[in-house]
Structure 1
Amino acid sequence: MNHLSRIKRSLALLATCSGAMLAFATPSPAQDTFKLGIVTFLSGPAAESFGVPASKGAQFVIDELNKGTAPAPYQKVGFGGMKIEPVVIDENGGATKQVQELRNLYQRDNVDAVIGYIGSGDCLAVAPIAEELKKLLLLFDCGTPRIFEEAKYNYVFRTAAHATMDNVALIRYMKSRNIKMGTFSAINQDYAWGQDSRADFVAAAGQMFPDAKLNADLLPKFGAGQYGTEISALVSAGSDVVYSSLWGGDLQAFLLQSVPRGLSKRSQLVLSAADHVLPPLGEKMPDGVIIGARGAYGLMSQKSPINDWFFQGYEKANGVYPVQAAYRVTQSILGLKNAIEKAMEKNGGKKPTTDEIITALTGSEWQSPGGLIQMKNGDGHQAIQPIAISRTKYDPAKKRVELVDIQLFPAECVNPPPGVKSVDWIKGGMTGAKCN
């Protein structure tokens, strides 16, 4: 090899090495980023009306935070100046799969924290894993009260209220409007969410409608999709009220199959978590249905600078207004941001450790698009929040279902006090409830 060839080869090697160094240097240092796992349904019957709105809500909020364009007090870029790097995982597939996916997020993807889980069964399965691994997990949805009523956690938080709030608010709403409920029937999914929702509604009804008689009491499996037999039983029962905590594709299917058979005209439908099916159902949603949204969300949300930013920004980005899942994942992200930045105020501005974040998040409170979130229950690991209930009314001019006769309930009116199990609180007459 002559001298000129050696020079050319050396330059080529230098260029190759420099390129490799640049490639490795592209990602920001760990100190400048916060890697965040996001778990929600991206496929399956829960995706369209619930899981995908959650992922779109997370994307909108993370983009806004990374640009520093969120309103006060969230105007600081990312999490305390750290850019947020999301890793999004599909929740579809069952609890066993989600346990492994959570391990992968922590051990393979090296995320700093995980925000996730819509299904109550998934939450019950993954919470002990995060605790075992000593990794931060924020449950953004899943309604079963059992998470913190049956166990204690250090590394696990739920940044939204559980299903007791939904059912107590429904009963209070019905009582305040003198809804006739001499008899009622129920249809709920046969797993933690459906079973616990049913128990809370029946217990609350026993307090405020003590003479009401439960007729048909149905527990179809999650994802059943076909409800001909159940609808026949409900129509035959002829109850004054039909209560349900069905959600996602199951709720859509139930409504599409039951309305043509006249169930909504025969009985007052009362649905604890129905706002998310209003956009896809449109005029097929009957008028006068009493619904909840698992919070003061969407068309029942209260006007505020934070809610205006979120509602209008999400709608502009996605062509449809945000519903409960988008609100719930957003309040979780903002709660984590609030805790991280509080921790950084105390440690001199460094990226906080998991333990420092836990200390800041425990018992904290923050403003969200759905109102004030307070980590008051579960030893400071379980949130309480306000909720709204309303009735449906289709608006042909807007070509969408509007919500009317809205009533907002304060958090401490519909959530149990610290240290008291939900069903015990309800059966004890909801002692200490602070209602307007």
Structure 2
Amino acid sequence: MRNQFSRKQFGRQTAICLAAAGIWSGLANPAQAQESFKLGVVTFLSGPAAESFGVPAANAAKVMVDAFNKGAAPKPYDKKGFGGMTVETVLVDEAGGATKQVQELRNLYQRENVDAVVGYVGSGDCLAVAPAAEEMKKFLVLFDCGSPRIFEEANYKYVFRTASHGAMDNVALARYLKSRNVKIDSMNLINQDYAWGHDSRADFVAAMQQLYPNAKPAGDLLPKFGAGQYGTEVSALARQPADIVYSSLWGGDLAAFVLQAAPRGLFKRSQLVLSAGDHVLPSLGDKMPDGTILGARGAYGILAAKSPLNDWFWKTYQDAHGQAAVVQASYRMAQALLGVKLAVEKAMAKNGGKKPNADELAEALRGLEWDSPGGKIQMALAGGQQAIQPIAIGRTKFDAGKKMVVAEDVQHFKAECVNPPSNMKSLEWIKAGFPGARCD
């Protein structure tokens, strides 16, 4: 299951092979550096989360590593490889559940001898692998997974998350609804029955209680992760009409819910509000109801602010993979790898140019700030282990000329407006009325 591929062999068609083989290695010419840096990359390559999350993340890893090894990334990321070291990558399929992922993580460190691991979309997987990496004293960067609990319920030295957690998504969503004067007296809620769904629901309801104190939940549904069929849930929501239908569903679950609910007119009676919905837009196209209010878990994709770094990433990704849109998973993978590159080079500048060990990498990444295609990333929470970042919310509209969904009425929020301060847990901060938030 651990097949090696040369650069020539890894082309656009490789995504199909990734799902079958479960692992890949992106190698540059070893002669380019005296030493290589071996990086484990974990994301979904099979299952309902692969198309909209896993494969875009894997594609972004390929794009970024190729650019690094060629010295083709923009400044300050233009030094070849990681501090001159060629980057080798070993890609692992995240499918299979948390127990399997803990074993795969151990295999990456102990059998593959990787120097670091960047990975994980599922909150349940992150909650499982983080303590395992800490126990092994190995450097681990969580590039996605939204549960605030990862760093709010445990302290780590070797584990980092280079993207904001899910509280940001829901605070920004509630602020957007309020700023647009959306009338909300009642809410229908549908979220997955596991860590991400429960945490997202709690944060959104708490934020709405602050900004819409009179709004009451009507339906409150928690289907299992990967359910796929939502006829019962759609009927239940239709029987209890509400001003909005809020959901943090993602991946195949979100696409299935929209496809099954829209023909039954659910979104004509209620405003659809999605905390993390951008990733299904390329596949749904005109099947996504116009006017859907959604976030992308950052200022990503069609919601991203224009910048030279974003322009470079968007074009480089599309040139390599021909996608109609670049989505949140690819952005989050890119910003994680940019952060790791800077951390490696910062550590090497301090240790005399040697390949850094886990302790040196952790020291270098802790509290670091860097620019990404989605804006500035600041490792500001959990003692410098957890990132905050800006976010954008907008409304969808299918553009027939471009044959893709575009964003309208986009509002950007500063990181300090929608993320908790370092001395408060996210839910406590929201329930206290967002003390210290800077939204000007």
TM range (shorter): over 0.9
2:279 match: 276
Q: Following the alignment from structure 2 to structure 1, what is the Cα–Cα distance between the partners of residues 125 and 357?
A: 26
Whether 1:417 and 2:421 are equivalent positions in the alignment is: yes
Encode CA deviations 1:4-23: one digit per residue, 9 max, x unaligned: xxxxxxxxxxxxxxxxxxxx
Q: Following the alignment from structure 2 to structure 1, what is the Cα–Cα distance between the partners of residues 31 and 137?
A: 25
Equivalent runs, 1:12-411 vs 2, <5 Å:
32-320=35-323, 321-411=325-415
Within the candidate set 409, 426, 439, 1:435 is matched to 439
| RMSD (CA atoms) | 1.1
Q: Following the alignment from structure 1 to structure 2, what is the Cα–Cα distance between the partners of residues 28 and 214?
A: 61
Native 8 Å contact 2:368 2:378 kept in 1? yes
- SS of the aligned residue for 1:388 comes to strand
Unaligned runs of 5+ in 1: 1-25
Q: Following the alignment from structure 1 to structure 2, what is the Cα–Cα distance between the partners of residues 109 and 312?
A: 33
Q: Following the alignment from structure 1 to structure 2, what is the Cα–Cα distance between the partners of residues 149 and 102?
A: 22
Q: Which amino acid aligns with 1:431?
A: P
Q: Following the alignment from structure 2 to structure 1, what is the Cα–Cα distance between the partners of residues 292 and 326?
A: 20
1:28 Cα offset (Å): 6.0
Q: Which has the higher helix share?
A: 1
Q: Following the alignment from structure 1 to structure 2, what is the Cα–Cα distance between the partners of residues 102 and 347?
A: 27
Structure with higher Rg: it is 1
Identity over aligned pairs, percent? 68
- SS of the aligned residue for 2:118 comes to strand
Native 8 Å contact 1:31 1:351 kept in 2? no
Encode CA deviations 1:280-335: one digit per residue, 9 max, x unaligned: 00111110000000000001111112111101110111111210000001100000
Equivalences, count: 411
Q: Following the alignment from structure 2 to structure 1, what is the Cα–Cα distance between the partners of residues 93 and 341?
A: 23
Normalised by the length of structure 2, the TM-score is 0.92
- SS of the aligned residue for 1:253 comes to helix
Q: Following the alignment from structure 2 to structure 1, what is the Cα–Cα distance between the partners of residues 39 and 404?
A: 35
1:419 Cα offset (Å): 2.2
Unaligned runs of 5+ in 2: 1-28
Q: Following the alignment from structure 2 to structure 1, what is the Cα–Cα distance between the partners of residues 53 and 257?
A: 16
- SS of the aligned residue for 1:394 comes to strand
Q: Following the alignment from structure 2 to structure 1, what is the Cα–Cα distance between the partners of residues 74 and 398?
A: 33
Q: Which amino acid aligns with 1:114?
A: V
Range with bigger deviation, 96-105 or 317-326: 317-326
Q: Following the alignment from structure 2 to structure 1, what is the Cα–Cα distance between the partners of residues 376 and 32?
A: 34
2:18 match: none
- SS of the aligned residue for 2:193 comes to coil
